[in-house]
Structure 1
Amino acid sequence: MKKTFLTILLALFATILVACGNDSALKESESTSGESNNGSEKEVITIGYQKGNTLNILKEHGNLDEALSEAGYQVEWKVFPTGTVLLEALNTNNLDFGHASDGNAVFMQAGGHPLHYVASESPYPEGVALVVKADSDIKSVEDFKGKTIGVTKGGNQHYLLLVALEQAGISQDEVDIKFYKDAAEGLAAFTKGEFDVYGTWDPYLAIVENTVETRTIVNGSDLTENRTFYFATEELLSEKTDVVSIILEELQNADQWANENKEEISKILAKELGLDVEPIQQANERRSFGVQKIDDTITLSQQQLADTFYKAGLLESEISVQEAVQIDDAIIPDNIQ
């Protein structure tokens, strides 16, 4: 049975209000403390994460805290509402390691901020889609001409839209693109009929599918990889390569555990996000968790995203993703391909 719109919308607003608290709450750490065997304080490694993502799983699993403690370090976890805010904290050395989306990364680099890619999460193309209401007369991307399409500016669904339009031979001027600021606002606008086409991402895509009778016109398959990337400070990469290797190894271990325990993971993430378990489970069933080494193919895909946003007038300047991908292969642990 479909969840009521009001119930889902209230849950989304609750999630966003929690995420958008004041700066002091934002920066408040959720840390574990400890001392080395000789009684001296351990050096702190600060990791930034967003609720509902893979570093959130790593935090809850607890294996990284244990592994770094054995190596003489203490983990401090900091939660952030968006990848952009997280990358800003990383850029100002308020974090050592964190994650952000593909779009967050290219916007940060185009703004003149140095980035240091470390690794990638597995692609998640089915986790982003352009949907319409079930009774819509829109049957394909070719029918988007003259229609109003809602996306978040620079988001993964915005990129999917641009690629889908280009493939269909439709210019941006032939559609009316409307930007919404967050999942709650987008769902409300789509439900009220303000958008003919709605671009969204998991787990909110799954929520929409369980709230409104919809049809998916196109998802990311064969159009966008929809990746999360991992980043570190230059200092961590140059002076504490052992820490980077441990983080990646334990992140991969947690990811593989997540693949084998998706029902349990869904419960954990639902609690973190303040959402029902069912859509989280639905979202997790269409993805695979796993850390990947950034190779030429992944770099090229990220470059294509950056070039597309630049051509659309969204980036301040052209960038070279390769310049930010200078990871030493020796840092990558053996359990990552």
Structure 2
Amino acid sequence: MTTRPFPRLLRRTLLAAGIALAATVAVAQTQAPVRIGYQKSSTLIAVLKAQGALERELAPLGVKLTWHEFTSGLPLLEALNLDNLDFSADVADTVPVFAQAAGAQLTFVAQEAPSPTAQAIVVRADSPLKSLGDLKGKKIGVAKGSGGHYLLLAALDKGGVPLKDVEVAYLTPADGRAAFEKGAIDAWVIWDPFLSAAQRQAGVRVLADGTGIASYQRYYLASTKFAQSRPDVLRVIYAALDKAGKWVKSNPREAAELLAPVWGLDVATVEQANARRSYEVRRVVPAGLGEQQRIADAFFAEKLLPRRVDTLQSALFQPIR
């Protein structure tokens, strides 16, 4: 009597079970939704979401999406670091610095070319404040960790006003608008499309924008775990962002008409906001992060970061081919 058929049968059974398990895992991976975080200023993601374009582009990969809106960039990247998101739509250049200081495992996927006029320090039209030096002793509203936060630091430095000589109120865009209109703050640092809405609706005057002060680049990031496991998804997202950016700049009126109901703003306001953003999507390379170190050093010098950040050493880059 021979016992050889039993081991062969066992091997075949185990092999079949292994194949079935691998197939189950593969299906589970392809069916797991990709969680995308964004904010109101995430224009290109808003376009792709409204058009359903990203879902169509990712359908061949078996990928489904879930969308999660945040009030500003800092809580968005905090969610990414806590593994509550896979991909973050664009955040201002300041935001990754705060995340890096907290030890976040994030990977840079793309950046937008500078848009310095798309954020500004504004005052009421009848305000006596005429120069950056006039901000001394005043109360200024800004979202903590936003691009506007760095604009404030750099503008005060240019105006010769120490940060300790102003009162900073950390406010979300909505709260900042309310405080500004009530006169609870003397100046407000804000970005588009909120900036354009305030200019057209609230009677504001720009005291200074980012020209010559802060270039205002915006970054798209992914959790490092997701970047390593799904580079195929990130390649599709990058291509879609690049295409959307070119479409917005080539079709300003049509883009504004698409976004106006999404943002709850009128078409003219959206068109004005979009005119100040570059929407030029680029790969992120070390040479393109020069201003990031200046931002990190400025915040550390004011004791607004818990530790000094070497922005290049703590940066990971997603190769897009």
Counterpart among 112, 115, 128 of residue 103 in structure 2: 112
| CA-CA distance at 1:221 after TM superposition | 1.3
Q: Judging changes above 3 Å, is the alpha-carbon distance between structure 1 residues 297 and 137 closer, same or farther for their aligned structure 2 residues?
A: farther
- Find the counterpart in structure 2 of residue 271 from structure 1: 261
Provide the C-alpha distance between the structure 2 equivalents of 1:172 and 1:87, rounded to a whole number of angstroms.
Answer: 26
| 2:219 aligned counterpart, secondary structure | strand
How far the C-alpha of 1:80 sits from its partner, in A, is 2.3
Structure 2 length-normalised TM: 0.81
Query: Which residue in the other structure is 1:127 paired with?
Result: 118
Going from structure 1 to structure 2, the CA distance change for 1:51 and 1:313 (only over 3 Å counts) comes to same
Letter in 1 for 2:302: A
Distance 1:145 1:221 in 2: 21
Instruction: Report deviation, 1:219.
Output: 0.1
The alpha-carbon distance between structure 1 residues 185 and 236, as it changes in their structure 2 partners (threshold 3 A), is closer
Q: Paired residue for 2:66?
A: 77
Map 1:236-247; keep pairs closer than 5 Å: 236-247=226-237
Paired with 2:139 and 2:298, the residues of 1 have a C-alpha distance of: 21
Q: Deviations over 1:119-162 (max 9, x none)?
A: 21222211111122223332211222233322223322221111
Corresponding residue for residue 234 of structure 1: 224
- 1:1-337 equivalence runs, <5 A: 42-46=30-34, 47-53=36-42, 54-70=44-60, 72-81=61-70, 82-99=72-89, 100-174=91-165, 176-327=166-317, 331-333=319-321
d(CA) in 2 for partners of 1:171 and 1:136? Answer: 21
Structure 1: unaligned runs, 5 residues or longer: 1-39
Query: Residue 319 of structure 1: SS of its match in structure 2?
Result: coil
Tell me by how many angstroms 1:51 deviates. Answer: 3.7
Matched-pair contact (CA < 8 Å) for 1:128–1:200: yes
Deviations 1:180-215 (A, max 9, x none): 422232223222333222222111111211123332
Deviation of 1:310 (Å):
1.4
**Which amino acid letter does the alignment assign opposite residue 188 of structure 1?**
A
Q: Is the alpha carbon distance of 1:83 and 1:157 closer, same or farther for their aligned partners in structure 2, counting shifts above 3 Å?
A: closer
Kindly tell me: are residues 192 and 241 of structure 1, through their superposed partners in 2, closer, same or farther at Cα, counting changes over 3 Å?
closer
| Corresponding letter in the other structure for 1:103 | T
Residues paired across the two proteins, number: 290
Cα distance in 2 between the residues matched to 1:195 and 1:97: 34
The 3-state SS of whatever aligns with 1:74 is coil
TM-score scaled by length of structure 1: 0.78
CA contact (8 A) 1:52 1:272 kept: no
Q: Secondary structure at the match of 2:140?
A: strand
Does the 8 Å contact 1:63/1:254 carry over to 2? no
CA–CA distance in structure 2, aligned partners of residues 243 and 312 of structure 1: 39
Question: Residue 117 of structure 1 aligns to which amino acid in structure 2?
Answer: F
SS in 2 for 1:120: strand
1:95 Cα deviation from its structure 2 partner? 2.9
Identity of aligned residues (%): 36
Q: State the 1:287 CA deviation.
A: 1.7
Q: Which amino acid aligns with 1:127?
A: A
Q: Is the 8 A contact 1:160 1:224 kept in 2?
A: yes
Alpha carbons of 1:101 and 1:110: their partners in 2 closer, same or farther (altered >3 Å)? Answer: same
- 86 and 131 in structure 1: CA distance in 2 versus 1, 3 angstrom threshold: closer
| Structure 2 gap segments, 5+ residues each | 1-26
Q: Does structure 2 retain, via aligned residues, the 8 Å contact 1:131–1:216?
A: yes
Provide Cα deviations, 1:74-96, integer angstroms capped at 9, x if missing partner. Answer: 23132221333332332233432
Please tell me the residue identity of whatever aligns with 1:73: G
Equivalent position SS for 1:49: strand
Structure 1 residue 43 displacement after superposition? 3.7
Q: Distance in 1 between matches of 2:126 and 2:214?
A: 27
Deviation per CA, 1:202-259, whole angstroms, max 9, x where unpaired?
Answer: 1111121112333212101121122221112323333332222222112101111111
Tell me how far apart the structure 2 counterparts of residues 184 and 88 of structure 1 sit (CA, whole Å): 20
